[in-house]
Amino acid sequence: MALAIAHSRGLDGLNAPPVRVEVHLASGLPAFALVGLPDTEVKEARDRVRAAIINSGFEFPQKKITANLAPADLPKESGRFDLPIALGILAASGQIPAKALAEYEFAGELSLSGELRPIRGALAMALQAGDSGKTFILPAASAGEARLIQTAPVLAASSLLAVCAHLCERESLAPPAAPTVDHENSGFSPDWPDLSDVRGQTQARRALEIAAAGQHSLLLSGPPGSGKSMLAARLPGLLPPLELDAARESAAILSLSGQFKPEQFGQRPYRQPHHTASAIALVGGGNPPRPGEISLAHAGILFLDELPEFDRKVLETLREPLETGRVHIARAARHAEYPARFQLLAAMNPCPCGYLGHPGRACRCTPDQISRYRARLSGPFLDRIDLLVEVPALLPAELASRAPGESSASVRPRVAAALARQTRRQGKSNARLAAQEVDTYCTPDAAGQQLLHQAAARLDLSARAWHRLLRVARTIADLAGSDTVSSLHIGEAIQLRRLAHA
């Protein structure tokens, strides 16, 4: 009888709880049992591990093998346990030293030849592996992203044989190569389009700058070809880089879906799901629960083009995450919580045909069709959007003009200065202020207070819309470098909510 223990990590949302892989060899008819609540992918590890051990030149023990993944009440999924199971078998059969396993944590999927394949969630696991005091051994294709965390020692391995050679002290594994990240410009991508490409649209450009400066949600409404998607694509280029903690959290979520690229570390995610996306695709779900688009856009931008074409029930699922910045996914056997602090950016046509109010083309829609089209967006959902802006059709003279507009490089410093001002004052962006904090930091002067009361009476503003209007006015004041929210700032904020009452 022989027993060996290897250490690994599971995934439960963004958490990576430790998993003990206990392998026991006993006399009896040859068998290989996996216990500890493994899913189908983990159960298939038996065939992968057997072939990988044999093809790596080791002997697969012809005994009764039991591999236990503890704790038993934690569901185990994916092929990341292949490597620790194989090492446990080799250690229990005396082919590698069992004591060496105690110093490391392992994760990796094995091919039949013994090569190590990349895994999902390496970065999320590395975030918590630093508390164990152990060195983390990962496939070479996944170790690079884990090294970005720099909280735990990481070693890269290409095969089962290389890991065994390291444990036997024959040939040491090396740390992964440092990812090519330019930390001075890590928040910016040269591929982002420039704001100077947009012709005209002075008000929409101003709204985009305000949205960037306060991280406010923004809805653009206008006919086809007016530049809504162009404006949306230029928002990432106006935002400052992510801070280190936010960059790590965003990278960890992307790593869970296998979509993280080390060269993009520090860049704000920009997600643009198609309007046929389901509620699970947008919010997250499945079994086991996986992050949806709103979590993949955490600390970045979620752009919903053709907003009314989304299913209304799908859009309603965004109401709570827009307020709380988190999403809790509950299933019968599993619960998972993911951060979802995203900046919502949306675009829509004013009517089904798109030409309502167009100066050169007549709208073909009946009043009833227009009413049904706009009713796809509920009042509570629109109430959660800070800026609602009309994007009119461009006139021929504006299209023919070659005068370049203001570039992203010239707008970005103003946005960064306004965000820095908010961080010094309240420790967060204006869009994240709670109701009590709005009263503290966004109270206007006497003239602004009077104008606000008049607007609330005429526009019948809800309490939520009242607070959102004050947050936007505070951002406008920050862009102007003003310590006081004046009537001018309140007036501009009111103008940028006209769409809600059109």
Q: Residue 179: pLDDT above 70? A: no
> SS3 of 298, please?
coil
Q: For residue 180, name the pLDDT band (cuts at 50, 70, 90).
A: low
Return the number of other C-beta atoms located less than 10 Å from residue 436's C-beta: 8
Tokens, residue 34: 């996996």
Distance of alpha carbon 20 from alpha carbon 8, whole angstroms: 6
Q: Residue 182: pLDDT above 60? A: no
Give residue 72's identity as a one-letter amino acid code: A
For 276-313, how does the pLDDT look when each residue is reduced to its tens digit (9 = 90+)?
999 999 999 887 788 999 999 999 999 999 999 999 99
pLDDT of residue 181: 53
Q: Class assignment of domain 183-399? A: alpha beta
CATH level 3 topology of 2-167? Ribosomal Protein S5; domain 2 (3.30.230)
- Total residue count of the chain as it appears in this document: 502
Q: For residue 489, name the pLDDT band (cuts at 50, 70, 90).
A: very high
pLDDT of residue 65: 95
Return the number of other C-beta atoms located less than 10 Å from residue 329's C-beta: 21
Mean pLDDT of 327-344: 87
For residue 112, what are the contacts with CB-CB under 8 A and spacing of at least 6? 48, 51, 52, 55
> SS3 of 338, please?
strand
Q: Residue 500: pLDDT above 50? A: no
Contacts by 396-404, CB closer than 8 A, 24 or more apart: 398/199, 398/200, 399/199, 401/199, 401/200, 404/196
What is the SS3 assignment for 89-120? HHHHCCCCCCHHHHHEEECCEECCCCEEECCC
Q: For residue 130, name the pLDDT band (cuts at 50, 70, 90).
A: confident
Mean pLDDT of 113-137: 88
For residue 375, what are the contacts with CB-CB under 8 A and spacing of at least 6? none
Reported as type and span, the H/E element at residue 135 is: strand 135-139
Where along the chain do its domains lie?
2-167, 183-399, 420-502
Instruction: Give percent of the chain with pLDDT exceeding 90.
Output: 66
Q: Residue 499: pLDDT above 70? A: no
Q: Could you confirm whether domain 420-502 is CATH 1.10.357?
A: no
Mean pLDDT of 347-355: 93
For 153-172, how does the pLDDT look when each residue is reduced to its tens digit (9 = 90+)?
899 999 999 999 999 999 99
Give DSSP secondary structure letters for 390-451.
Answer: E-PPPPHHHHH-------HHHHHHHHHHHHHHHHHHHSS-GGG--HHHHHHH--B-HHHHHH
